[in-house]
Copies of this chain bind each other. A is one copy, B any other.
Amino acid sequence: MTYELHYWPMIQGRGEFVRLALEEAGADYVDVAREDDDAGGIGPMLDRLSDPANGRPPFAPPFLRDGDLVIGQSAAILLHLGPRLGLAGTSEADRIWTHQLQLTIADAVDEVHDTHHPLGVDLYYADQKPEALRRALGFRQTRMPKFLEYFERVLVANGGERLVGADRTYADLSLFQLVDGLHYAFPRATAAALQAAPHVERLHDAVARRPRIAAYLASARRVPFNEDGIFRRYPELDG
């Protein structure tokens, strides 16, 4: 069975959390909107999103097709894929804990997004730069350290190398992605904040070295970070 991932082809965005899980597991999948055929591109993706034949439509990309099932919301997609890909621990308690961590990572990602779009998604960054400066200040000084120190505490309580139990989970991959994005968007502030979260930094580096992840990151399948995505390098927002 080939999984079909549908997401904006030009950004990592929220789809990247799903891509990383599929890549780590060596799953058979197609990143449909990035295909160079009639199925690819944004138009066909949006057509699928609004397909009236789907009575359970996703609100927005990303969405995953697994046979007859179409699932939106990146955290829900990972909830579905986790046990199937062997990336959600071994017990029901592990699965719900992995998911709880994912939702907290998603909250952090939302706050990163709002650093450059505090007044909303319908305005350009150029139309909200003074406000972005103020929002980014609070993010760098308070929120980013709070999130990173939380994950540090969780890592240390679990032995230091993984967030959940004895094996890699999608929460580890997602924390890698959060930290990778923070390094891109806020290189100075992130380096400073990671001083208080050394296990988080080591987890980031360890995930990047995993063979399938390293191969993925070096491939054309990994969309580079850019200023259309969630993690944007606007130096003025890094203080």
A80 touches B96 (CB 8 A): yes
Q: Which stretch in A36-44, A149-157, A230-238 binds the other chain?
A: A149-157
Interface string of A93-115 (1 = CB under 8 A from B): 10011011001100100100010
Scan residues 49-96 of chain A and give those whose CB is less than 8 A from a CB of chain B: 55-59, 69, 71-73, 75-76, 79-80, 93, 96
Question: Once the chains are docked, how many angstroms separate the CA of A114 from the CA of B157?
Answer: 33
Q: Which residues of B contact A134 (CB under 8 A)?
A: 119-120, 123
A93 and chain B: residue at smallest CB distance:
B69
Given A110-B110, A154-B56, do A100 and B72 touch, yes or no (CB 8 Å)? yes
A180, CB-defined interface residue at 8 Å: no
Interface residues in A, total, Cβ within 8 A: 42
A122 near B96 (CB under 8 angstroms)?
A: no
CB of A135 within 8 A of CB of B110, answer no
* Residue among B96, B120, B139 making CB contact with A76, cutoff 8 Å: B96
Given the interface pairs A96-B71, A120-B139, A138-B120, the reply to whether A76 lies near B103 with Cβ below 8 Å is yes
Interface contact B100-A58, CB-CB below 8 Å? yes
Query: Across the interface, which residues of B come within 8 angstroms of A55, CB to CB?
Result: 154, 157-158
Q: A48 interface residue, CB < 8 Å from B?
A: no
- Which residue of B has the minimal Cβ distance to A56? B97
A131 within 8 A of partner (CB): yes
Of listed A79, A118, A120, A153, residue having the most chain B CB within 10 A: A120
Q: For the complex, is A142 an interface residue (Cβ under 8 Å from B)? A: yes
Chain A residues packing against B (C-beta within 8 Å): 55-59, 69, 71-73, 75-76, 79-80, 93, 96-97, 99-100, 103-104, 107, 110, 114, 118-123, 131, 134-135, 138-139, 142-143, 147, 150, 153-154, 157-158
